[in-house]
Amino acid sequence: MHDLTRMMEEWPWDAAGPRVREVAVGESRRVLQVRVELGILQIETAGRPDGMRPGGHESLLASLSATETDQPLTADQVEALRAECILYQQRAAAFSAVGRPGDAARDCHRNVEVVDFVRRRAGRPQDRAIFEQMRIQFVLMRARSASAAAVRAGDGRAAVAALDHGLAELRESFAVMGMTPRFDASPEAAILRSMRELLTPKLPSSQRAELEERLRRAVANENYELAAILRNELRQMGDSMPRE
């Protein structure tokens, strides 16, 4: 057995909250370490965050997806998928903390795929309802992370597009749960709109014309959810950006 006291003393707990670092533990392996009040958590950066391989696959989702069956998911399988989503979401937060938003977005996207899988395979309505509620947080974090990754890459248009896409997905999620009237006042929508407002002044003046063109395409493709969001964003921009 190994005493971790010295390691924790060398990396003390910060009362302000968890601290995260990325560490090389071999020539080709890197891990994330999170300092929490009671110790240190270690997270794999590749594959499943805990390093496990359910059924010899990278994840439980991959294992269940590889099985051709018409049988609905059992309650135990649904719970195991929920627990796995939490692992990936925790790693996404750690990736964000160490400046790897693209990887955070990847893990969130994977969790959205789990929600879609449960929607198709769950036998009990309550299981689908639980995952639909989880989708909101997954979509929110994916949009924020994808936008941050685009900003780091110097692509302002992609950053705004990620937020627009996130808003459209949030609206759809609220609709699926029968809560469309709550979307506009939801804190999740407010977060993405606030991020977009911060980005807008940094975009070139041609962005207004591009948004107007995206609105025309959305209407032509009958993507009315996205069209409503784009129309609202153009209205909120007002005269904050000069026209060419």
Q: pLDDT-derived band of residue 125, with 50, 70 and 90 as boundaries?
A: very high
Domain presence at residue 22: no
Q: Is the pLDDT of residue 244 over 50?
A: no
User: Cα torsion at 172, 175, 181, 187 (round to 10°)?
Assistant: -50
User: Could you read off the pLDDT of 214-224 as tens digits, one per residue?
Assistant: 888 888 877 77
Domain presence at residue 165: yes
Per-residue confidence (pLDDT) for residue 231, from 0 to 100 = 76
Domain presence at residue 152: yes
How far is it, in rounded angstroms, from Cα 183 to Cα 51?
A: 37
Domain presence at residue 167: yes
Please state the rounded mean pLDDT for residues 98-123.
96
Side-chain-side CA neighbours of 96 within 13 Å: the count stands at 20
User: Could you read off the pLDDT of 165-216 as tens digits, one per residue?
Assistant: 999 999 999 999 999 999 999 999 999 999 988 887 655 656 677 777 888 8
Domain presence at residue 99: yes
Cα Dmax for the chain? 69
Per-residue confidence (pLDDT) for residue 205, from 0 to 100 = 58
Domain presence at residue 28: no
- Tell me the residue range of the domain where 63 lies: 59-237
Domain presence at residue 172: yes
CATH code of 64's domain: 1.25.40
Domain presence at residue 38: no
Please state the rounded mean pLDDT for residues 39-43.
95
CB-based contacts of 26, cutoff 8 Å, min separation 6? none
* Number of domains forming the structure of the chain: 1
Please state the rounded mean pLDDT for residues 73-88.
97
